[in-house]
Structure 1
Amino acid sequence: MFPPSLKNHSTHTKMTDRRRRTLKIVLQITCQLLWLVGLMVGLCGVYLLLNCTQNSLFLSHSYLILPAIFALVTAAFLLISGCLGCWVSTRESAFLQGLFVFLLVVVLCLESTATALAFFHTRKLHSEVAPLRGVFQRYTASSQDPESRAVDAAQEELQCCGVRDYRDWLETPWFNRSGGLGVPHSCCNSTFYFCNGTLAQPWKLYGQGCQVKLEDTIQFVLNLIMWSFLPVVLVEIFGFVTVAHLMKDQPLLQYHILGRS
């Protein structure tokens, strides 16, 4: 027969070990969620960066890429945190657990900054695309002109025509020089195979202007970056709570007084 105190200690040890195994499984699941939200944030950053790069001629300055850069850095730290968290779940190291918590705090700061920058730019997005009208006014239809190529590429990709609509082309110098018979072929709706940009058939042209389309595209990505803050915070809370319980149940080191010899 074992003494009651020894039996209670053995039962408590088994319960603690079982709870630690459960916490480590939860931590591994949390790390997989960190990878998932990191991939989501990274894709948002890449999408915004590509949009800013492709439409750089239409933007007033390059500050709009800051949310994309912070989103990409956040995604990198989320992936690193996920890898470290998986390592923590297989080790009994207070140092690794503390480092994991530190990385989660860094991720929270980076994601908060990306969200704040995205919110700031949503409020001034209309002024960000102000140079769009000037680029359309300087259109020459020349394949050697980078601004003209950018206009045609934007109209084809965004499926738009003009700044507000196709009638904006009537006020451009290019329209008068070309004889005033039609708009660029990039205005043609892709569903009409025999469209040549003539104003006699305006229903074959894209009906929406490029300014609204471009603003909507960038606004959509900025909103994704802002909304990604919520899943990141929720996953990090799980990570904080799980590691806190693991650190609480960490076995204490036994210290001994060394003799003079």
Structure 2
Amino acid sequence: MSETRRHFLNIVLQITCQLLWLVGLVVGLSGMFLLLNFRQSSLFFSHTYITLPAYLALASAAFLLASGGLGIWVSLRDSAWLQAVFVYLLVIVLCLEASAAALAYVNTTKVHSELAPFRRVLERYTGSRQDPESNAVDATQEELQCCGIYDYRDWLATPWFNSSGRSRVPHSCCYSSYPTCNGTLGQPDLLYPEGCQLKLEEALRFVLRIIIWSSLAVALVETMGFVSVAQLMRAQNLSEYQLLDREGDRTRMAESILD
């Protein structure tokens, strides 16, 4: 292989490694966002396995960053051993990303059923700052700018609403731009019109889709890495081997014994 072609392949490999860092950052951020979202809303979910794609995404992001750094080193040093390690890392990343994408795809169809406990948590709302479930409901409504499960009328059937006798919903249902809002039903225009369940489902599906599409991007970038490294490995100088002349060796051994 000519030096010009080798130099071109090294440049392609360096660009590929920079793309590996970029997609690794995207994969890692999507996994982190899913974990943070679940941590805040964990009381609303039936199971915790919905976070498995996030852990796999974080693991693959770590391997992507490591393989990107190793790939830069491979482009600077003509080492068959480093090239082999780089290929092994890419294979590990491919397995992790395929698993994360498969789990994310499965979980996108189960988001609605996984949020079934949300209604039960809403019914146990007490309004107390010491209650973790009440704090989770208020935090979700304030952050997502939503009220109730489907709208503010879901609060009318809760024990908290019926026992309080104040005919109002929690203050976290109020638009933040209206400081005079106190949650009374006489001013429904000051309350968030959308429910929280739909927004939670949309947010989770969005993150899961990012994991799926980023896995496809990782596969494309890894294909570039596989091709460029394969071409560099083909250019390696093979060790020169010599065939043993067994008959000649036996003759020389016999002559040495006779002498």
Verify same fold: TM over 0.5: yes
2:108 counterpart of 1:122: yes
- Would you say the 8 A contact 1:170–1:180 is kept in 2? no
- Quote the Cα distance in structure 1 between the aligned partners of 2:166 and 2:160: 9
Partner of 2:155: 169
Local SS of the residue matching 2:189? helix
Q: Deviations over 1:76-130 (max 9, x none)?
A: 0100110111111111111111111111111111000000000000011111111
1:42 and 2:28 matched: yes
* 2:215 corresponds to which of 212, 224, 229: 229
- Listed as ranges, the gaps of 5+ residues in structure 2 are 253-259
Instruction: Name the structure 1 match of 2:60.
Output: 74
SS of structure 2 residue aligned to 1:55: helix
The equivalent residue for 2:19 is: 33
Which position in structure 1 is the counterpart of 2:7? Answer: 21
Give the secondary structure class of the aligned counterpart of 1:228. Answer: helix
- Distance between the aligned counterparts of 2:231 and 2:177, measured in 1? 60
1:204 to 186, 190, 202: 190
Paired residue for 2:38?
A: 52
How far did 1:254 drift? 2.6
- Structure 1 unaligned runs (5+)? 1-14
Partner AA of 1:58 in structure 2: F
Report the identity percentage.
Answer: 64
| Distance in 1 of aligned mates of 2:101 and 2:239 | 42
Moved more, 216-225 or 89-98: 89-98
- Is residue 16–residue 249 contact of structure 1 (8 Å, CA) maintained in 2? no
TM-score, length-scaled by structure 1: 0.91
SS, match of residue 78 in structure 1: helix
1:158 maps to what in 2? 144
Name the structure 2 match of 1:62.
Answer: 48
CA distance in 2, matches of 1:257, 1:63: 59
CA distance in 2 between counterparts of 1:252 and 1:227 reads 40
Q: Residue 246 of structure 1: CA displacement?
A: 0.4
d(CA) in 2 for partners of 1:112, 1:132 = 31
**How much does 1:182 deviate?**
0.6
CA distance, structure 1, for counterparts of residue 105 and residue 216 of structure 2: 14
Q: Aligned letter for 1:56? A: S
How far is the alpha carbon of 1:51 from its aligned partner?
Answer: 0.5
Question: Which moved further from structure 2: 109-118 or 189-198?
Answer: 189-198
Match status 1:107 vs 2:97: no
SS at match of 1:89: helix
CA distance in 1, matches of 2:168, 2:181: 11
The residue number in structure 2 matching 1:11 is none
Distance 2:214 2:136 in 1: 31
- Picking from 240, 246, 256, the partner of 2:226 is 240
In the alignment of these two chains, the number of paired residues is 247
Which of 123, 127, 136 is equivalent to 1:141?
A: 127
